[in-house]
């Protein structure tokens, strides 16, 4: 029994068109991911600097107030009932 192929047999022009479309789509896909990687790295860098700088400029009382506010927010969430 002959093996079944998933792709239909294409003539030369159809095959050339398929190759061109695949090459175009590959370049379009790689550009956004490269941009996303660069932007993510920039965000991580800024986030690391911002958190450290914020802690250096805050007083002990301000840090304590922020910690209390976070604890209140975490503990005030209502638990879902298993109904």
Collapsing DSSP to helix, strand or coil, 76 comes out as coil
pLDDT, position 1: 67
Q: Tell me how far apart the alpha carbons of residues 52 and 57 are, in angstroms, rounded to a whole number.
A: 9
Domain holding 52, by residue range, is 12-75
51 belongs to a structural domain: yes
pLDDT, position 69: 93
3 belongs to a structural domain: no
7 belongs to a structural domain: no
59 belongs to a structural domain: yes
Give residue-wise pLDDT tens across range 33-78: 788 888 888 888 877 778 778 888 999 999 999 999 999 999 987 7
Predicted model pTM? 0.37
Give residue-wise pLDDT tens across range 9-36: 778 888 888 888 888 876 555 556 788 8
Number of domains in the chain: 1
Distances (CA, A) of 23 to 11, 26, 37, 42: 18, 5, 22, 30
């Amino acid at each position: 029994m002959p093996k079944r192929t998933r792709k239909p047999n294409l003539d030369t022009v159809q095959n050339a068109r398929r190759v061109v479309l695949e090459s175009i789509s590959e370049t379009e896909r790689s550009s956004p991911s490269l941009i996303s990687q660069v932007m993510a790295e920039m965000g991580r860098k800024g986030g690391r600097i911002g958190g450290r700088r914020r802690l250096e400029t805050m007083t002990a009382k301000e840090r304590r107030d922020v910690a209390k506010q976070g604890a209140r927010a975490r503990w005030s969430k209502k638990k879902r009932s298993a109904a």
